[in-house]
Amino acid sequence: MSLEELVVKARSYRRFAEPQRLERKTLEFLVNVARRVPSAGNRQPLRYLLLHEAEACARMFPYLRWAGALKDWGGPKEGERPAAYIIVLTDTDVSREAECDAGIAAQTIQLAAAERGFGMCMLGAIERPKIQAEFKVPERYQIVLVLALGVPAEKIVLEEAPASGDVTYYRDAHDVHHVPKRMLKDIVLGD
Ligand SMILES: Cc1cc2nc3c(=O)[nH]c(=O)nc-3n(C[C@H](O)[C@H](O)[C@H](O)COP(=O)(O)O)c2cc1C
């Protein structure tokens, strides 16, 4: 698979085959791939908490907000929820400005997961103080993102955004998730 094909495959999956669990060593593999990506000033402030047991995943789920654009969908139901999570944190003793680093790491993890047949969704709409308390994360570490992972159980297609510029994702009558992407001519500025 070319890198371009992998990027297209690595969509934001929100429905999973929940009984198909991920092992801790798979999560460690994914973080180990991301360990070597670029980092501002090479400070490497990111730290990770890995959740793979069903009990821990159940404790995480209430603090996540899913697909804000799908107004009549309350998120994945039991049986299709994530089978693992990676909490991406910044060590504030190293850096407080870790959003770019976290984005690079998250996308790298998403690509590595896709290559192995797993799906992922980055989650930024999360209840950070509650997650911090639930998992007893020391104050020194601040949560940047939560990555939800599992074996995908939904179909997602990319399509070209319409001329109106509406990039709202949606589900069709067959429950296929559609993601409009702006066209090249609309994102490259100048002649
Ligand atoms: C930084 C960031 C935060 C995100 N937070 C959420 C979130 O809280 N909940 C959610 O359902 N999706 C979240 N997403 C996923 C986006 O909604 C998704 O990337 C977008 O719909 C485009 O779909 P695609 O990733 O398949 O291209 C987030 C994505 C990014 C990059």
54 alpha carbon to ligand 1 midpoint, in Å? 23
Residue range 3-24, pLDDT digits in tens: 999 999 999 999 999 999 999 9
Q: Give the DSSP letter of residue 43.
A: -
Cα R_g (the chain), whole angstroms:
17
Q: Tell me, yes or no, whether 60 and 87 share the same domain.
A: yes
Q: What is the CATH number of the domain that holds 167?
A: 2.20.180.10
φ/ψ bin of 190: left (φ > 0), alpha (ψ from -120 to 50), beta (otherwise): left
| Ligand 1 mutation pick, 88, 123, 171, 181, max ligand atoms within 8 A of CB | 123
Q: Tell me, yes or no, whether 85 and 36 share the same domain.
A: yes
Determine the Cα–Cα distance for residues 86 and 109; give it in Å rounded to an integer: 10
- Give the model's pLDDT for residue 70: 97
- Give the model's pLDDT for residue 171: 97
- Give the model's pLDDT for residue 191: 73
Look at residue 105 and tell me whether its pLDDT is greater than 90. yes
Q: Tell me, yes or no, whether 54 and 142 share the same domain.
A: yes
68 alpha carbon to ligand 1 midpoint, in Å? 9
Q: Are 132 and 29 in contact (CB under 8 A)?
A: no
φ/ψ bin of 32: left (φ > 0), alpha (ψ from -120 to 50), beta (otherwise): alpha
Confirm or reject: Cβ of 107 under 6 Å from ligand 1: no
- Give the model's pLDDT for residue 154: 98
Q: Tell me, yes or no, whether 85 and 166 share the same domain.
A: no
Q: Which numbered atom of ligand 1 lies nearest the CA of 13?
A: 26
Q: How many CB atoms lie within 10 A of CB 145?
A: 20
- Give the model's pLDDT for residue 113: 98
Q: Tell me, yes or no, whether 114 and 169 share the same domain.
A: no
SS (H, E, C) 57-73: HHHHHHHECCCCCCCCC
Residue range 47-99, pLDDT digits in tens: 999 999 999 999 999 999 999 999 999 999 999 999 999 999 999 999 999 99
Determine the Cα–Cα distance for residues 127 and 25; give it in Å rounded to an integer: 27
Mean pLDDT for 36-48 is 98
Give the count of domains, the chain: 2
pLDDT class of 180 with cuts at 50, 70, 90: very high
Mean pLDDT of the chain: 97
179: domain range?
Answer: 155-191
- Give the model's pLDDT for residue 129: 98
Mean pLDDT for 25-29 is 98
pTM greater than 0.85 (yes/no):
yes
Confirm or reject: Cβ of 65 under 6 Å from ligand 1: yes
Mean pLDDT for 127-143 is 98
123 alpha carbon to ligand 1 midpoint, in Å? 6
Q: Tell me, yes or no, whether 28 and 119 share the same domain.
A: yes
Determine the Cα–Cα distance for residues 178 and 175; give it in Å rounded to an integer: 9
